[in-house]
């Protein structure tokens, strides 16, 4: 998977897009003017955020709404899998044994009963709460979500997240529906972004507890 990064050349002052592999943290860029530079990607720019960069590019530059929807949903799933693996590995003290950790986590997720179940498994792994329980305790978050999404259901936010992010993705993959508008793609992107932000907040809260 390639990720697009906007880069303004220090020599010709022209902004260009540089494509790099999602796993690359050090980017070697050569501008058409000949100027070369190296850019280090910050460690807190996770794969989930990188995928959101790509989804935004598909919306704004390529106008490919279907691809943007698929990658936005992928960003959220990638981030939750990363965090589940991280905390599962820490608990099992197998963080350095990536092959063992990956195999065990894949089996756990394979046994899950759909996307909602995997989300709850991830949140419970980090907080001992379900997704809905975690969201419900944060009244400010519920209020802000309702301001952005008037139809947001504070009693069952997981179902709402699933509806906004994964129903359009499933319509494309399983229903062969390819007529989503830019508005549809932006809605999925925004909800996936909010979901990633929530996951990062949960991860940060757990890390602070360990200090």
Structure-block tokens of residue 181 = 């508008």
Domain ranges within the chain, ordered by starting residue: 64-210
Q: Strand, helix or coil at 68?
A: helix
Q: Strand, helix or coil at 45?
A: coil
Structure-block tokens of residue 70 = 């698929």
Structure-block tokens of residue 18 = 């540089």
The C-alpha atoms of residue 188 and residue 183 are separated, in whole angstroms, by 9
The confidence score (pLDDT) of residue 107 equals 84
Give me the residue label for tokens 């790509």.
54
The confidence score (pLDDT) of residue 155 equals 82
The confidence score (pLDDT) of residue 65 equals 97
N- to C-terminal Cα separation, the chain: 35
Helix axes of 182-210 and 139-148: crossing angle, nearest 10 degrees:
170
Q: Strand, helix or coil at 25?
A: coil
Q: Is 16 exposed, middle or buried (0-12, 13-18, 19+ CB in 10 A)?
A: middle
The counts of H helices and E strands in the chain are 9, 4
The confidence score (pLDDT) of residue 57 equals 97
What are the angstrom distances between the C-alpha of 32 and each of 29, 38, 97? 10, 15, 42
Q: Strand, helix or coil at 114?
A: coil
If the chain, 211 residues long, is cut into consecutive pieces of 10 residues, what is the mean pLDDT of each piece? 92 93 92 91 93 98 97 96 89 63 80 90 93 90 85 86 95 95 96 94 87 55
The confidence score (pLDDT) of residue 22 equals 96
């Amino acid at each position: 998977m390639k990720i697009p990064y906007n880069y303004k050349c220090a020599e010709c002052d022209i902004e260009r897009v540089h494509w790099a592999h999602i796993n690359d943290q050090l980017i070697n860029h050569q501008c058409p003017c000949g100027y070369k530079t190296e850019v280090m990607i910050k460690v807190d720019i996770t794969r989930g955020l990188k995928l959101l960069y790509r989804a935004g590019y598909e919306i704004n530059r390529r106008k490919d709404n279907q691809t943007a929807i698929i990658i936005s949903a992928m960003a959220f799933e990638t981030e939750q899998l990363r965090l589940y693996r991280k905390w599962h590995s820490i608990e099992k003290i197998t963080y350095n044994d990536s092959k063992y950790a990956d195999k065990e986590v894949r089996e756990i997720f394979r046994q899950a009963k759909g996307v909602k179940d995997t989300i709850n498994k991830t949140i419970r792994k980090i907080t001992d709460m379900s997704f809905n329980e975690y969201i419900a305790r944060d009244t400010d978050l519920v209020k802000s979500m309702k301001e952005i999404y008037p139809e947001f259901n504070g009693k069952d936010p997981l179902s709402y997240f699933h509806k906004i992010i994964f129903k359009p993705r499933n319509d494309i993959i399983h229903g062969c529906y390819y007529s989503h508008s830019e508005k549809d793609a932006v809605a999925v992107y925004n909800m996936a972004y909010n979901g990633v932000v929530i996951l990062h907040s949960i991860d940060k809260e757990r890390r602070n507890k360990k200090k």
